[in-house]
Structure 1
């Protein structure tokens, strides 16, 4: 037994069998303008 995992399956994996999917951002970061507005609201 070695410390390294068996990667033989990974090297023989066929990427062409994968389906193409569109990624959607579930929790997008706020824009710079939104951050500035929140900072201004917090200081007043």
Structure 2
């Protein structure tokens, strides 16, 4: 094994063979309104 990685396959990679995917957020952050409601519920 050499110290330097072999970049030959990376440079010759064909991006057009990749499928287009739609990214979906699994853990979306709560909205500002939701955070305020949580704070008010916790303090009362």
Q: What TM-score, normalized to structure 2?
A: 0.78
Question: Can you list the C-alpha shifts for 1:1-44, whole angstroms capped at 9, x where unaligned?
Answer: 21x32221111100001111111112211101001111111122
Equivalent-residue separation in structure 2 for 1:13 and 1:24 (angstroms): 26
Superposition CA RMSD, Å? 1.1
TM-score (normalised: structure 1): 0.78
After TM superposition, what 4+ stretches of structure 1 lie above 6 angstroms from structure 2?
A: none
Q: Which runs of 5+ in 1 are unaligned?
A: none
| Structure 2, gaps ≥5 residues long | none
